[in-house]
Chain A
Amino acid sequence: MTTVFRFFSSKSTTRLLIQRLGFGLITLIAMLTVFLILSIVIIIVIKGLSALSLEFIFGFPSNGMRSGGIFPAIIGTIMLTILTSIFCAPIGIGAGIYLSEYASDNLFTRLIRIAIINLAGIPSVVYGLFGLALFVVALRFGISILAGSLTLGIMTLPVIISTCEEALRSVPQSFRVVSYSLGATQWQTIRRIVLPQALSGIITGVVLGVERAAGETAPILFTAAVFYLPRIPLSPMDATMALPYHLYVVSTQIPGIPENIKYGTALVLLILVLGMNVIATWIRSRARSQRQW
């Protein structure tokens, strides 16, 4: 506390002036950041809106991507997203249940947690390399939705595990104690009481995790994405177009694309991703108001 006492002797007007400047600066920074974020969204909306038409959303690209629609990319992203959640949700939720309900506080559990932190920090392009080496080459899935989804699934795993564990932990311990006192086994208690109460938190976590996977480019670069597909993908073994990759391609690889098509693609991706965000937030706030404890 001696540092604080040092200021006892300086004049209060100086201190207040410093405070005003400091607060002002910080507020300015915050406002600028908000302005920045809003402008990002607004630019995309304004410049991309004109491109959004039924043909754009449901049509195929033509003239070397310079006109037509982006339907295959949209379908591709949707398929990737669904398959990713099928892979990572069961394992992630299972791991979350394990960490919250079964694991004791020993070295092994700490290793698991370190592994999760690790998985969370691996750069997305390294996941792409891994997916290439394991799924595309070693397991011979080739460049396919399957390989891409498995890669994205492993990448999303840490998010799911963490949110699931937290959702389960937030259920009061007293419920479990009462359940045991009535003669329930551990799994019965989890299945009947803990899991239902944590369900909305878990679903929120899955949606948020998968939302991030939907917007990722690097993991699917060498595992699933192709530049052009004349038809929509029909099986998980097909390669596919995908929105993030398509956006990358039209903004860096092809000259002469009308600006609003580029922004339109960005806008569709943005709507998809932020839409999932909104759904997750809605689930979260609805659950909060219905909580029974």
Chain B
Amino acid sequence: MNKIVIENLSIDYSDGTESLKNISLEIPENSITVLFGPAGGGKSTLLRTINRLNDLTDVKKVTGRVLLMNKDGTYTNVLDENTDVIALRRRIGMVFARPIVLPLTIRGNLTYSLELLGEKDKSILDNAVIRCLNQAALWEEVKDRLDDPAAALSGGQQQRLCIARSLVLEPEVILLDEPTSGLDPISTGKVEDTLQELKEKYTIILVPHSIQQASRTADQAVFFLQGELIEYASGKLIFTNPQDKRTENYVEGRFG
């Protein structure tokens, strides 16, 4: 089943730059879909469109549909103007390229999204904290200092905290935009392992920060070049046997 179906999505920015050109794509559920390609390809824009974070930027025109599958099997168009954007964002977790921890304690970072909903029950909050830190493989390292400021953690720990934070509301989809850029190889490995575990419950869309990461993690991979979707195939195939010449050039490192 496809968790997300994108139909003819085009996005223009106010300064005239065209960011996405007529993208059509299907994202299967409970898998890792990787969007890769050189900078400026529109991958980040696509991620931010899915959870409507693009609303914060200077977007002039958006056409097309982005359909998100609901629990009952129907689809909702994310881009519809009647969509409850706040509720939508709760269904989708996001992890950014730089670890952005909120200026709160470790616990505060995790309980933030529940507190926004008015949740005050200490046991519910604590359970969420424990669950998500475990899912992000961070529990052992921080369990004794949950009330320390999150800013005191190392870069790798902060990023795993951000992953844990994105899991608190038990979203259906997790979007990760170069989550391991700036992390050391060990932390990167831990994050990639975590993703493999998470895909059993969540649909994951990942923008990798290297081709190697793409080929390590992808169940499906999509190649983007300057706002266009060039090629789409299963993880193994696209890197060993790319169909399009441009994909082949990028995969072989001839540009990028």
Kindly state the separation between the CA atoms of A190 and B88 in the bound complex, as whole angstroms. Answer: 20
Are A178 and B116 within 8 A (Cβ)? no
Are B151 and A182 within 8 A (Cβ)? no
Note all chain A residues with C-beta closer than 8 A to B117.
Answer: 183
Are A177 and B116 within 8 A (Cβ)? no
Interface residue from A192, A196, A292 paired with B151 (Cβ < 8 Å) = A292
Convert A154-174 into 0s and 1s, putting 1 for each residue whose CB lies closer than 8 angstroms to a CB of B: 000000000000000000001
Convert B147-182 into 0s and 1s, putting 1 for each residue whose CB lies closer than 8 angstroms to a CB of A: 001010000000000000110010000000000000
Note all chain B residues with C-beta closer than 8 A to A196.
Answer: 103
Q: For residues 53 through 110 of chain B, which have their beta carbon under 8 Å from a beta carbon of chain A?
A: 53, 56, 86-87, 89-90, 92-94, 96, 98, 100, 102-103
Are B87 and A183 within 8 A (Cβ)? yes
Note all chain B residues with C-beta closer than 8 A to A197.
Answer: 103
Q: For residues 169 through 206 of chain A, which have their beta carbon under 8 Å from a beta carbon of chain B?
A: 174-175, 177-185, 188, 192-193, 196-197
Note all chain B residues with C-beta closer than 8 A to A174.
Answer: 96, 98, 100
Convert A258-293 into 0s and 1s, putting 1 for each residue whose CB lies closer than 8 angstroms to a CB of B: 000000000000000000000000000000000011
Convert B131-151 into 0s and 1s, putting 1 for each residue whose CB lies closer than 8 angstroms to a CB of A: 000000000000000000101
**A177-B53, A292-B149, A292-B151 known; A182-B100 Cβ under 8 A:** no
Kindly state the separation between the CA atoms of A182 and B116 in the bound complex, as whole angstroms. Answer: 9
Interface residue from A175, A183, A292, A293 paired with B116 (Cβ < 8 Å) = A183
Question: Who on chain B is nearest to A189 by CB?
Answer: B116
Looking at B94, B98, B112, which has the most chain A CB atoms within 10 Å of its CB?
A: B112
A interface SS class: helix
Kindly state the separation between the CA atoms of A193 and B94 in the bound complex, as whole angstroms. Answer: 18
**A188-B116, A192-B112 known; A181-B98 Cβ under 8 A:** no
Are B100 and A183 within 8 A (Cβ)? no
**A174-B96, A174-B98, A292-B149 known; A182-B103 Cβ under 8 A:** no
Interface residue from B89, B103, B169 paired with A180 (Cβ < 8 Å) = B89
Q: How many residues of B contact A (CB 8 A)?
A: 25
Note all chain B residues with C-beta closer than 8 A to A175.
Answer: 100, 102-103
Interface residue from A177, A182, A293 paired with B112 (Cβ < 8 Å) = A182
User: In the complex, what's the smallest C-beta–C-beta distance from B145 to chain A, in angstroms?
Assistant: 16
Looking at B53, B116, B166, which has the most chain A CB atoms within 10 Å of its CB?
A: B116
User: In the complex, what's the smallest C-beta–C-beta distance from B155 to chain A, in angstroms?
Assistant: 14
Are A185 and B103 within 8 A (Cβ)? no
Interface residue from A181, A193, A292, A293 paired with B53 (Cβ < 8 Å) = A181
Which residues does B use to contact A, with CB under 8 Å? 51, 53, 56, 86-87, 89-90, 92-94, 96, 98, 100, 102-103, 112-113, 115-117, 149, 151, 165-166, 169
Q: Given A181-B94, A183-B113, A193-B102, 7 other A-B contacts at CB below 8 A?
A: A175-B103, A182-B90, A183-B89, A184-B116, A193-B103, A292-B149, A292-B151
Q: Give me the 5 closest cross-chain CB pairs, A-B, nearest first.
A: A183-B90, A292-B103, A182-B113, A181-B94, A183-B89
A-B CB contact pairs (8 Å), 30 listed: A174-B98, A174-B100, A175-B100, A177-B53, A177-B56, A177-B96, A177-B100, A178-B96, A178-B102, A179-B112, A180-B53, A180-B56, A181-B51, A181-B93, A182-B89, A182-B112, A182-B116, A182-B166, A183-B87, A183-B90, A184-B86, A184-B112, A184-B113, A184-B116, A185-B86, A192-B116, A196-B103, A292-B149, A292-B151, A293-B103
